[in-house]
Amino acid sequence: MQGRFDGGGGSAGGGYHGGGGGSNMIGFDGKPRTRKPIVRKCIDPNSSFISYVNMRKFARDFRDLPAAYAMNPHSAYKRYILPPGAFKQDDLSSVVCTKFCRSSTNKQRCPVNCLMWTPEGRRLITGNSVGEFTLWNGLAFNFETILQAHDDAVRAMVWSHNDNWFVTADHGGVIKYWQSSMTNVQLVRGHREAVRSLSFSPTDYKFVSCSDDATVKIWDFESVKEERVLTGHGWDVKCVAYHPSKALLASGSKDNLIKIWDP
């Protein structure tokens, strides 16, 4: 749900008087000056969660929810908007974003290579080409924290399924473990070249990485040890993903091949 923040108003210049559509401040010349309120766009997801909680009390299952199958493309149905988990995941109308909200620029202008939402959905973490993490506020579009996380460009990041850890990798082949508080606890030089993708197994006991060195590596998360190297590709491996419920993984490479692995 899109809304607005009305900022402005405060004490400055020796005095403050509230009034009308703005705040009256005393300038350096002793004359009162009117400061207009600042209007900032924001996205407030709380209304959709409140609607979902209220409707869920009386619904037998998701079929009783008014927006269970699709989101109607009309402003009159805004009050029926629900969080993503309430919609059918295979419905195109529930996964395609059709409204542009806001563009934000980091303090240092540079390419953003990867990003992910925090588990609670309130913030966004981005990794850029100078090795920085930026924590963005998903409500007001401003950045909250900038952290120098890697020495090379950040290329991949992924959350564990239990939401307690996330793993990142960079252009130099370094893989790092992070707590949810963005505290680095482990570093391993996993590949000779840039790591392009990461994925956790369904149990979070293992994760997989792929790289421009044409390898796919399976790691034990707790011991931080390399368990197996898969070398079936003939060129840079660009993406890899674990099966949601089975011990299978898929990888895609620059050699025009997609491979299914049963490690």
pLDDT, position 49: 76
Q: Which residues contact 8 (CB under 8 A, 6 or more apart)?
A: 22, 23, 35, 36, 37, 38
pLDDT, position 20: 45
- The residue assigned the tokens 């969080």 is 83
In 3D space, the residue among 252, 242, 133 whose CA is nearest the CA of residue 198 turns out to be 242
Residues of the chain with pLDDT under 70: 1-43, 57-74, 84-99
pLDDT, position 37: 62
In one-letter notation, the amino acid at residue 179 is Q
Query: What topology is assigned to 113-261 in CATH?
Result: Methylamine Dehydrogenase; Chain H (2.130.10)
pLDDT, position 187: 95
Is there a contact between 184 and 225 (Cβ–Cβ < 8 Å)?
A: no
CA distance to 81, 86, 221, per residue, from 70 (Å): 10, 10, 39
pLDDT, position 54: 77
pLDDT, position 46: 74
pLDDT, position 197: 96
Residues of the chain within CATH 2.130.10.10 domain(s) are 113-261
